Chain A
Amino acid sequence: MSEGKIPVTVLTGFLGSGKTTLLNRILSENHGKRIAVIENEFGEIGIDQALVINADEEIFEMNNGCICCTVRGDLIRILGNLMKRRDKFDHILVETTGMADPGPVAQTFFVDDEMRDMFELDGIVTMVDAKHVALHIEDSDECKEQIAFGDVIVLNKTDLATPAELDALQSRIQSMNALAKVHRAVDAAVPIETVLDVGGFDLARALEKKPSFLEPEYPFEWAGTFALEEGAYEIALADGPDPSMSLVVSPVAAEAAAELPKAVLDDAVRVWSEPATTCSLKGELAPGATRWELDLEAKGRKTFALRVPKAGTYALFTEHLPEEFSLVVRGPKGELAPVSAKDFAAGHTHDDTVSSVGIRHEGAVDETKLNTWLSALLRERGTDIFRMKGILNVKGQDHRYVFQGVHMLVDGRADTPWGSKPRVNELVFIGRKLDRELLERGFRACLA
């Protein structure tokens, strides 16, 4: 946090998602902070009323009608007056109504000079009802926007959903918002430090915690581990939604069976980058550093032989999810269940409404080209871009350049030196109807 500025947390989420429960937890917990709550939904809350200020949500559109200048007038008025109180506050929590777009709240702290001088937006926390969000997530724009804006997403009421439902929901949420930290909770019981002082708009701090904010994107969507004996196995699959299917079978150490270490994943990525070897129906797959491209020409269910030379633990990496192709591994005793399995599909799901696009590129960026590209992009698409963050390797500069934005508002500055760290540009856009290819092409054209 910058010197003397009071952090503000925005709490958003649908009615019934547990916002009030979380508020009560935050206010009653013994954290030694004095927190003021500004809330719009009247009534129910049974907490120290001296700390709760009711506000009529007043969204002010400025004269020019530009979306990035839409601010919350009630917050400007109330926060300005709160600052004059004798009993100072250490933190401000702003609760928004279930249907509200968090954009204007966030923008208030960028656009209004008084607010900018006194307060610092710390983060947007989105509460999601794990049981009921499935009803809204695909058809409600408000629901998607709230997820898209969140720095922290609390997946609440997890006791009411199955582990499989939770996994599916979490991966869906992360496909919309690759930057958010997702926490699971029952009764909104999350450690207070996961929702307050998250530094969501403070890039320097975000980088301290996690030097690379983009999860690497893997070229495979699934990996599973199997305990195999020496001998003949089969990989059987049916027709799937994609025209191709390639896979890698790698021997791994026995202790990697439960969770594949990053080194193994990186090896698989390297193998993937090599040209593939086609395996026909008559051919035979073998474990090792080969990417096998299955011949899918024949219609219907197909079986490929797999010869295992030596008993041990093997990892299978597949280009698409096994269930999309009804893919199974069969041994002498029939179908085999994987010891462990992991989806890597999040980065690949396409959503025509809200999604995240991450760009990761080596090389130095030409500052002028980048500015031209970004300002044109935001001028044309700023309404649809909710959040963005980036770390850039600017040509001729030894420091990381970091930036972040909400809609058309961008804030950027020089950060820590790269030192001996590899210089990699990372950008993430979260928004509506994002075209990954277009964004990547646009960025690549900015490389010096």
Chain B
Amino acid sequence: MPGLSRTSAPRELELGYRVALDDYPTAVAFSPTGDRLLVGTGGGELALFDAATGKETWRRSVHPGGVLSVSFGPRAIASSGQDGTARIVSPTGDVLHELPGVGSGWVEHIAWSHDGKLLAAASGKFVRIWHDDGSPLLETQPHASTVTALQWGRKRAELATSCYGGAYLWSIQSGANPRHLPFKGSLISLAWSPDERVIACGSQDCSVHFWRLDTGRDSEMTGYPFKPKALAWDARASMLATGGDATICIWEFSGKGPEGTRPIQLAAHEGQVSALTFHSRKALLASAGQDMGIIVWEPRRSTEPIAFSFLDDTPATLAWHPEREAVVTTDVSGNLASWRLPR
């Protein structure tokens, strides 16, 4: 890491705990209050941990073939997997509802709305919306191809989805046709800004595309050497961090930009950046790379890392604690670790 030799050397992240999961972690979510941590695995299990100590509360097999997505709502847990179902699970680990996917396809993405009353589950070209009691609300029209990402809006009951052919914005209450944000390529990731004004998507052809929802104006950033799967907005919706390279590119949305501006470039990883996430309130960015490094940045202050550590294997997931200055990582050989920012 080039930053190591500088005088203002970054410090090492402090390890809180490390737990061996003995399985490939595919999805991780904190409870909204941050006291518990949910992990889904490639073996099809869900496991719940005490977020402060790493002590396992329960673990059970829920999706034979593998968990693909988890969401931790204010009232219940939801998960989906290769068994073609979504499940609503109580915080004590009881499966409350089994929700079918479409046909024999996988249910690849799942998300609770912010109030925890609605659950969206993507299966093939369709998204099904369920009430928290497991009763169905609606199924969307088919997308142009398999849904690759979904995210609820913060304020309204609106859902953003992406696929090959563009992004869609569904207004759940009105039941009207979705708003289509067309793009001729295949979108592989989606990040809706916290102020709900911009939807950004990474594309298979190594570009990032974004739409301003108020004006409909769209723009594109190209030239990434790899697919920019990792995208993250800061809490104020002024910075969009993008992966797709060893150098992190942060596009500024606060002024007139990002069109015509130079991005903030954060260079310290020696391999492709695979995960990015901003703290829910502070302008702290965490990144994980194929060099097995995890780095915490404060991009408004400096383009140098402020703290770092290395995992035992390639990172699988990365998440900030919703309140504290702590990052939870998993790696592909199944290690779960919690790291504190040094004081």
Contact = CB atoms under 8 A, between A and B. Distances in A.
Given A54-B105, A77-B146, A85 B42 contact: yes
Contact of B26 (A54, A60, A74, A84): A84
A60 B186 contact: yes
Given A81-B82, A113-B226, A50 B145 contact: no
B24 A85 contact: yes
A113 B108 CA distance: 22
A335 to B, nearest CB: 64
A86 B61 CA distance: 12
Contacts of B36: none
A336 interface: no
Interface string A110-129: 00111000000000000000
A56 B66 contact: no
Contacts of A77: 108, 146, 148
A84 B204 contact: no
B227 interface: yes
B205 A63 contact: yes
A73 B205 CA distance: 11
Nearest to A76: B204
Name B's interface SS.
Answer: loop
Contact of B145 (A56, A63, A64, A87): A56
B205 A84 contact: no
Contact of A73 (B106, B125, B204): B204
Interface footprint category on A: 20 to 34
A58 interface: yes
Interface in A67-107: 69, 71, 73-74, 76-78, 81, 84-87
A441 B66 CA distance: 55
B25 to A, nearest CB: 9
Interface string B27-57: 0000000000000011110000000000000
A113 B226 CA distance: 8
B185 A85 contact: no
A448 interface: no
**Which of B106, B204, B205 has most chain A Cβ within 10 Å?**
B204
A60 B146 CA distance: 12
A86 B42 contact: yes
**Which of A61, A71, A85 has most chain B Cβ within 10 Å?**
A85
A63 B185 contact: yes
A78 B65 CA distance: 12
B192 interface: no
A62 interface: yes
Per CB-CB distance, the 5 closest pairs between chain A and chain B, nearest first, are: A86-B43, A84-B42, A60-B186, A62-B205, A84-B24
Given A84-B42, A113-B226, 19 more contacts: A50-B64, A54-B103, A56-B146, A60-B204, A61-B185, A62-B205, A63-B184, A63-B185, A63-B203, A64-B205, A71-B204, A78-B106, A81-B108, A84-B26, A85-B43, A86-B41, A86-B43, A86-B44, A87-B43
11 contacts: A42-B104, A50-B64, A60-B185, A61-B185, A63-B184, A64-B205, A76-B204, A84-B26, A86-B24, A112-B227, A113-B226
